[in-house]
Amino acid sequence: MKGGQATKPPPKKKLKNDLFAKKQLKKGDLLDDSEGTSEDIEEQEDFNDEEMEGLSDSGSEASSGGDDPLADDFLQGSDDEDDVSDGDEDSDSGSDSDEADPEKLSRAIDVERARVESEARDELQLNIKQESDEFRLPTEEELEEEALRPPDLQNMQRRIAEIIGVLSNFKAVKQDGVRRKDYVEQLKRDLASYYGYNDYLIGVLAEMFPPVELKELIEGFEKPRPVCLRTNTLKARRRDLADVLINRGVNLDPLAKWSKVGLVVYDSQVPIGATPEYMAGFYMLQSASSFLPVMALAPQEKERIVDMAAAPGGKTTYIAALMKNSGVIFANEMKEARLKSLTANLHRMGVTNTIVCNYDGKELPKVLGHNTVDRVLLDAPCSGTGVISKDESVKTSKSLEDIQKCAFLQKQLILAAIDMVDANSKSGGYIVYSTCSIMVAENEAVIDYALKKRDVKLVPCGLDFGKPGFVRFREHRFHVSLEKTRRYYPHVHNVDGFFVAKLKKMSNAKAPSSTSSESIDPESVLDDESNEKKTGVEHQHSQTEDGQANAMERCKVEENGQVRTDKPKSLSAPKNVEKRKRENEAEEGRKHAVKKNRVKENSLGKSDKAKSQPGPKEMKKQKFSRGKGSSKIRVEEKKEFRKKKAANKKGK
């Protein structure tokens, strides 16, 4: 058994040496040095064969059994080490050309590796190019199948990016036979599904912004805005407040260069809304966008200012701080439930120059008087499409009707605000209009309406940043001065979506075509018509139906930017139409009888004519006979004819 075990291993090792020699030959081919490498390989083979024959006996004795594979592996490993050591000895004893072979080999390996990497990069770029070129819009069948399956968000996100890339370079990358409108419609469907918007809102946003900016805006709405606080300069300075809050474990920085009182909070170890400094009224938690309307208003000391929608009091307390508690502020809030938070914040912040009132904003001119205040701040109630990051329900809850209702209310409020401002004020005469909405119907359209209805003009807001407002949008064309308004977006300015406009009242007189802040009362139109000077017997008795129709046409009330042509209740048809018809018939019969009497009187003499005129009693009878029918008038005529005959006989 030992002899058998001793004879088997050498052939295996020889085969291994042959394989090693072949590998060395392949490497030699790469170096293109066939002659030198072949000689080295032959010498190495001879040396290895002799060594393996001499070590075969010792290897067989060291092994415990020929059938043990671990022993074979161990022996093979030792043989490899011996081969490496022999190779090292040969290399040391070799010539200078043999010493350069490893360097050439490493260089060849580096070249091969670089070639493979370059090919991989080229293939990757080719695949990317082919994918972009091969993008096709899904067919209707594919969309139907996709609607039945759960939404594939990764595929949807990839398709959004592809469509935006195509729309950015439409002429060069577009698909043959596909219109731009098809890409836009598919983009709107994907954005609505991926981010959870309704069709109306995503459609309006797509009309306002290009595709790239539209995606950035929507992604900006998905991220929360930074927490900001405003220093109450009535009680503290920003530097001192920042030091105190930092000592409490609050990580904060100044808000921006445009604000001297704002601080932005990154994180806090304590509740930022329950610190002793907050309770003492040293600061107010307030979004950065809420600073902008007050900065545009620029209130001065000892002025009369109205905040038409004041709750919860962030802007009102800021105005009071800028006025240093001088003058008077009328803080109005229509919803009674919000008055508690308003008054609480006023007390906490140390405001003493403010009067809180609870009126409908449209009625304020009647309460405070026309042309009585210096400045008005109208942060109008709106749809909230600029603060989606705070209220995600806006994505699906807002519709066209909601936007129109808000716009109609805003138009009424801005006219009321203008009516309260005194154009002759020495330091004021300004109105600031702001909303937390980005809809054109609630912003530029409302300002354009105010410019047409009142003698006001737009002035710069005094803010260093912000995008100018729209001068034209779809089919709408607004006043050129609307470029002075300012728009703010979350993806551009890192604040909530906001709109700010500043108006200057030029005169207290209303425009000739203007209407009051409330809708026109149809009854007032009737009163004006009744006071007009009209002549004729027909108008003294009643107003004809044609006159009522003309009055109804003139009484058209503007609602929501459109003319209201519905029939007012006060102008409805009277119930006694039949009675008036009878009176008209009686009047015609009386006129006909008078004509006959005149013909008969002409045939008589002048004396008879004077005597034949009816007396006061007869005139009364004629008045009472009106409306009783033409038969009674004939009876009266017969009586008058008989009396005339009797009078003529007596005279003769």
DSSP conformation letters of 462-530: --S--EEPPSEETTEE--GGGGGSEEE-HHHHSS--EEEEEEEE--SSPPTT---SSPPPHHHHHHHHH
Give 68's DSSP letter: -
128-137, 516-525, 633-642 — which is least confidently predicted?
A: 516-525
Candidates 318, 410, 406, 308; CA nearest to 360 is: 308
Cβ atoms 411, 418 nearer than 8 A? no
Mean pLDDT value of segment 619-643: 61
- The pair of structure tokens assigned to 331 is 């803080």
* Dihedral over alpha carbons 555, 560, 565, 567 (to 10 degrees): -70
Provide the pairing of β-strand 375-379 with 283-285: unpaired
Average pLDDT across the chain, whole number: 77
SS3 state of residue 192: helix
Distance CA(133)–CA(147), nearest Å, equals 26
pLDDT of residue 577: 57
SS3 state of residue 268: strand
Residue 350 gets the label, from left (phi > 0), alpha (psi -120 to 50) or beta, of left
Mean pLDDT value of segment 183-205: 94
Nearest-5° angle of CA 65, CA 71, CA 75?
A: 125
The enclosing H or E element of 378 equals strand 375-379
pLDDT: which is higher, 322 or 27: 322
pLDDT of residue 316: 97
Beta strands in 215-368 (DSSP E): 227-231, 250-254, 262-268, 283-285, 304-307, 328-332, 354-357
Is 406 noted as a catalytic residue in this protein?
A: no
Residue 488 gets the label, from left (phi > 0), alpha (psi -120 to 50) or beta, of beta
pLDDT: which is higher, 200 or 23: 200
Instruction: Report the sign of the C-alpha dihedral through residues 140, 145, 147, 152, in that order.
Output: negative
From 228, 382, 436, 461, the catalytic residue: 436
Cβ atoms 226, 219 nearer than 8 A? no
- The pair of structure tokens assigned to 112 is 């091969």
| Model confidence pLDDT, tens digit, residues 350-378 | 999 999 999 999 999 999 999 999 999 99
The answer to whether residue 578 scores a pLDDT higher than 70 is no
The band of 223, judged by pLDDT with boundaries at 50, 70 and 90, is: very high
Cβ atoms 168, 211 nearer than 8 A? yes
Sequence-distant (6+) residues with CB within 8 A of 46 are none
- The pair of structure tokens assigned to 342 is 């308003």
Give 228's DSSP letter: E
pLDDT of residue 647: 80
Cβ atoms 173, 166 nearer than 8 A? yes
pLDDT of residue 606: 46
Give 353's DSSP letter: S
As beta bridge partners, residue 559 has: 562
Rg (alpha carbons) of the chain, rounded to whole number: 49
Distance CA(3)–CA(623), nearest Å, equals 160
Question: How many percent of the chain have pLDDT more than 70?
Answer: 66
pLDDT of residue 401: 95
Candidates 295, 257, 291, 262; CA nearest to 461 is: 295
pLDDT of residue 581: 67
pLDDT of residue 619: 53
| Count of Cβ atoms closer than 10 Å to residue 398 Cβ | 22
Mean pLDDT value of segment 531-540: 37
| Model confidence pLDDT, tens digit, residues 239-275 | 999 999 999 999 999 999 999 999 999 999 999 999 9
pLDDT: which is higher, 118 or 32: 118
The band of 642, judged by pLDDT with boundaries at 50, 70 and 90, is: confident
In order of 107, 218, 549, 573, 588, the CA distances from 582 in angstroms are 122, 70, 21, 16, 10
SS3 state of residue 233: coil
Mean pLDDT value of segment 293-317: 96
The answer to whether residue 25 scores a pLDDT higher than 70 is no
Provide the pairing of β-strand 250-254 with 262-268: antiparallel
- Residue for token digits 């067919």? 139
In order of 165, 187, 203, 384, the CA distances from 210 in angstroms are 12, 12, 12, 22
Distance CA(500)–CA(603), nearest Å, equals 86
pLDDT of residue 335: 93
SS3 state of residue 312: coil
The answer to whether residue 85 scores a pLDDT higher than 70 is no
Sequence-distant (6+) residues with CB within 8 A of 318 are 230, 284, 286, 291, 294
| Model confidence pLDDT, tens digit, residues 405-425 | 999 999 999 999 999 999 999
The band of 625, judged by pLDDT with boundaries at 50, 70 and 90, is: very low
Cβ atoms 408, 560 nearer than 8 A? yes
- The pair of structure tokens assigned to 284 is 């107010």
The band of 128, judged by pLDDT with boundaries at 50, 70 and 90, is: low
Cβ atoms 410, 403 nearer than 8 A? no
Candidates 270, 265, 332; CA nearest to 305 is: 332
The band of 640, judged by pLDDT with boundaries at 50, 70 and 90, is: confident
Mean pLDDT value of segment 572-588: 62
pLDDT: which is higher, 122 or 93: 122
Residues in the chain, how many? 652
- The pair of structure tokens assigned to 325 is 């508690």
The answer to whether residue 457 scores a pLDDT higher than 70 is yes
Distance CA(168)–CA(320), nearest Å, equals 49
pLDDT of residue 66: 44
Q: CB-based burial of residue 239 (10 Å sphere; 0-12 exposed, 13-18 middle, 19+ buried)?
A: exposed
Cβ atoms 369, 393 nearer than 8 A? no
pLDDT of residue 276: 95
Provide the pairing of β-strand 262-268 with 283-285: unpaired
pLDDT of residue 404: 96
Instruction: Report the sign of the C-alpha dihedral through residues 353, 358, 363, 369, in that order.
Output: negative
| Model confidence pLDDT, tens digit, residues 89-113 | 444 444 455 455 788 888 888 899 9
Question: How many percent of the chain have pLDDT more than 90?
Answer: 51
Q: What letters, b where the CB count within 10 A reaches 16 and e where it falls short, cover 110-146? A: eeeeeeeeeeeeeeeeeeeeeeeeeeebeeeeeeeee
Distance CA(550)–CA(547), nearest Å, equals 5
Nearest-5° angle of CA 271, CA 273, CA 279?
A: 120
The answer to whether residue 124 scores a pLDDT higher than 50 is yes
